[in-house]
Amino acid sequence: MHRGRRHTRHQPRAGCGAHCYCRQHRQAEGRAGEVPIHEGAVDELGAGLSHEDSYSHVGGPGQQIPEGVHLPDVTGVHEGNAIGQRGCLRLIVSDVESRDAEALQKPFELNTGMLALHRIQVGERLIHQENLGVAHQTAGDGHLLALSDREALGHPPQQQIKVHPQDIVKATIAANSTMMHLLLGLPAASIRLSPFVTTVNRVPLISARQVGLRINPEGVIDCLPGVASYVGADITAGVYSSGMDHADQLTLFMDVGTNGEIVLGSREWLVTCACSAGPAFEGAGVFDGMRATKGAIEEVWINETTFEPTYRVIGGCKPKGLCGSGLISLLAEMFMTGVVDKAGNINTHLTTARIREGPHGLEYVIAWGVQSETGREIVITHVDIDNLIRAKGAIYAGYSVLADSVGVPMEWIEQMLIGGSFGKYINIEKAVQIGLLPDMPWERFQFLGNTSVKGAYYALLDRDARARIEDIASRMTYVELSADNSFYDSFMSALFLPHTDLARFPSVVEAQESRQMNTISD
């Protein structure tokens, strides 16, 4: 069932996008347009029923919502719900027959502020169990991390907009390969074990009853297609919503996260890979890391003479920690001001109380205890810096090796599209200075937000969009980086700020020389 070529690895990231179509409850029985799907329907569908058939049959009038109505944040997700990771769970209530996306209500999102810290803890535990080899083979045993609360996909949003679960008759799912396997109760262990293959990349239409989603039991569940073990339906949906598959320009699409999924190409061809970056840029694995919620430091500046930091905090309150964009900004400032060298070693010769020996080794203090919300210092340790450098090195090596594999120099890339909720907060200049992003004109970068959930949204609304996502998955050639000897060499070369080959980062060299000249003149 593997479609799309696999050239011959990466930790699972908890993440999923979902959209539901619900129909207004007009009568207790004999609802017009309802198509029953029985227990054996998955076999029948897998034997030949196309997605086109499902779109032509599932219809009926939509739940009426006045234009401009506010759809409130949803806060009722159970702590065991791994499918709601990264704030990607959304519900659409619209008339899909009109096919007029502009006239429809925009999707609303889970309350990421209230759930963010718990989500990343669940995600880390899932990754930890995968690493130990003790993760459950299927989701069928009701394990906490194995989507034991799948009904959260349907239940809390229904309460918010007063829609009965029976009236939701279709859901579209875009998730990475691991999450898709857990949702479907399929063995997922092979994803993390050599040769890193999935049980399935394309899933036939199934009923909600078969996966336990709390909507109409006979409702249709449409799982979007994946490509390989670490390039799942979240990426095929993201490529669609980015438009790169129809672009004339040579385009590099990247989803920055635990796995840095990367797609290179244009309307003529597409190649893809994934690299195990780890969760550092999502605020995990860092001593004072946190999600980009209220109290997170999102931008840092360091005085190059006194080495005193100033920072901006989300919400304008006292800081609690550092989010991903804050970590990128901080690391770049530390490097450009000489607080750390190109290998990430903290400079102990500077005359500042900010650099000290802490319980975890050398550290730099961003906020003193009296300045923070928690009453304790907010610091970045040498171990944190090492984790960040490894994460950025893996991502840089991933897209550079992918480009090299098809003979494309980085300077040929005409646009770079960055997806994921984290990506839209990245400071381009700071990301280039640490070697996370390639050194190219800033106007080539575009930040697209959550491309996965957008793709799921359009796949639910438009049969042509759904068919196009299927085509994207078929066209993508997967390059397995673990089988490419050049990846390790490229990764090792990228474990410096910004890189061992400074010719790749001329703007950073120029900025450093300018700072040195200013220091001498002062």
The Cα 227–Cα 105 span in angstroms is: 31
Q: Which residue has the higher pLDDT, 356 or 66?
A: 356
pLDDT band at 233 (very low <50, low <70, confident <90, very high): very high
Tell me which DSSP letter residue 114 carries: H
Q: Which residues contact 50 (CB under 8 A, 6 or more apart)?
A: none
The Cα 93–Cα 104 span in angstroms is: 9
Proportion of the chain in helix, strand, coil states, percent, rounded to 5 = 40, 20, 45
- Looking at mean pLDDT, say which of 163-172, 184-193, 335-344 comes out highest: 335-344
Q: Which residue has the higher pLDDT, 520 or 409?
A: 409
The Cα 221–Cα 509 span in angstroms is: 52
First to last CA, the chain: 66
What angle, 0 to 180 degrees and rounded to 10, lies between the N-to-C axes of helices 324-336 and 382-405? 100
The Cα 311–Cα 330 span in angstroms is: 9
Count of CB atoms within 10 A of residue 358's CB? 14
The Cα 243–Cα 261 span in angstroms is: 16
The Cα 420–Cα 439 span in angstroms is: 21
Q: Are 371 and 319 spatial neighbours (Cβ–Cβ below 8 Å)?
A: yes
Question: In the prediction, which pLDDT does 167 show?
Answer: 87
pTM of the predicted model as reported, rounded to 2 decimal places = 0.76
Pair of tokens at residue 426: 């990245």
Q: Which residue in this structure is represented by tokens 């535990």? A: 125
The Cα 364–Cα 356 span in angstroms is: 7
CA-nearest of 459, 467, 461, 471 to 52 is 467
Q: Which residue has the higher pLDDT, 370 or 66?
A: 370
Is 20 a residue whose pLDDT tops 70? no
Pair of tokens at residue 9: 């690895």
Q: Residue 328, Cα to own-chain centre: how many angstroms?
A: 17
Mean predicted lDDT score pLDDT of the chain: 77
CA-nearest of 308, 246, 256 to 279 is 256
pLDDT band at 92 (very low <50, low <70, confident <90, very high): very low
- Collapsing DSSP to helix, strand or coil, 341 comes out as coil
Question: Beta partners for 260?
Answer: 275
Q: Which residue in this structure is represented by tokens 């244009």? A: 266
473-499 as b/e: b if 16+ CB within 10 A: bebbbbbbbeebeebeebbebbbbbbb
- Looking at mean pLDDT, say which of 111-120, 165-174, 243-252 comes out highest: 243-252
The Cα 331–Cα 171 span in angstroms is: 41
Give percent of the chain with pLDDT exceeding 70: 67
Report domain extents, the chain: 16-223, 283-381
What is the mean predicted confidence (pLDDT) over 262-286?
91
96-100, 138-142, 294-298, 320-324: the lowest-pLDDT one: 96-100
What is the mean predicted confidence (pLDDT) over 432-444?
97
